[in-house]
Chain A
Amino acid sequence: KAGVTQTPRYLIKTRGQQVTLSCSPISGHRSVSWYQQTPGQGLQFLFEYFSETQRNKGNFPGRFSGRQFSNSRSEMNVSTLELGDSALYLCASSRAEGSNEQYFGPGTRLTVT
């Protein structure tokens, strides 16, 4: 069974731009969560989607948004990029809503200059 895939793997953007990251969960998994990982703050929860609905949201500004499609694929968008948004963005899928056994993708390394 194929794992979680994320595209693109690497991205360089300029301050003020916006970016869209994509995540395809493991087949059969309906829940997708997003995390931001930085050396200073560690792994921080962004949001969780299940059945195309945002079920939970972390403490991030409104510039961070996401959505989930009917095929469970998910996208997250960051608008008006800031230098501090440079991070590894990880997507994780799980079978059911609220499942603690999460399968992570390889991540998208975003660099904002």
Chain B
Amino acid sequence: GQQVMQIPQYQHVQEGEDFTTYCNSSTTLSNIQWYKQRPGGHPVFLIQLVKSGEVKKQKRLTFQFGEAKKNSSLHITATQTTDVGTYFCAARGSNYKLTFGKGTLLTVNP
């Protein structure tokens, strides 16, 4: 079945530093989604990317979809303590099942 590999598994940063998490697939994706889960919380939908090379911004968050539609990234500029949580990418494969990456746990030192 389809797999989306996400790296790194963990990332610890000082407040104000930037953060990036990457999602890679061996197959071409029709689209990709990003979710955030705060500690003790549930996943919250952030965004969906559909077009090759697409770049979308939400305040300090920048989402990119690769030209080949096999990879994606989420970049946070100048992290804040409110950014703490696990960031997941998700993609729906040809079997129509929504597959989530293992996530990147971001911790921020104030």
Contact between B97 and A58, CB atoms less than 8 A apart: yes
Which residue in A98, A102, A107 is a CB contact (below 8 Å) of B96? A98
Number of residues from A at the complex interface, CB < 8 A: 22
Chain A interface, >50% SS class = strand
Q: Given that A58-B97, A107-B42 are known contacts, is A42 also in contact with B92, CB under 8 Å in the complex? A: no
Q: Provide the bound-state CA to CA distance between A45 and B88, in Å.
A: 14
Query: Which residues between 83 and 101 of chain B lie within 8 Å of chain A, taking CB atoms?
Result: 88, 90, 92, 95-101
1/0 contact trace for A12-45 toward B, CB 8 Å? 0000000000000000000001010000001111
Q: Provide the bound-state CA to CA distance between A25 and B46, in Å.
A: 19
Chain B residues with CB under 8 Å of A105's CB are 42
| Among A45, A55, A59, A107: residue with most chain B CB under 10 A | A45
Which residue in A42, A59, A102, A106 is a CB contact (below 8 Å) of B98? A102
Chain B residues with CB under 8 Å of A58's CB are 97
Q: Given that A33-B98, A100-B31, A101-B33 are known contacts, is A43 also in contact with B45, CB under 8 Å in the complex? A: no
- Hey, which bits of chain B sit against chain A, CB under 8 A? 1, 31, 33, 41-45, 48, 88, 90, 92, 95-103
| A-B contacts besides A98-B96, A105-B42, A106-B42, 8 pairs, CB < 8 Å | A42-B88, A42-B100, A43-B43, A45-B99, A55-B96, A58-B97, A100-B92, A100-B98
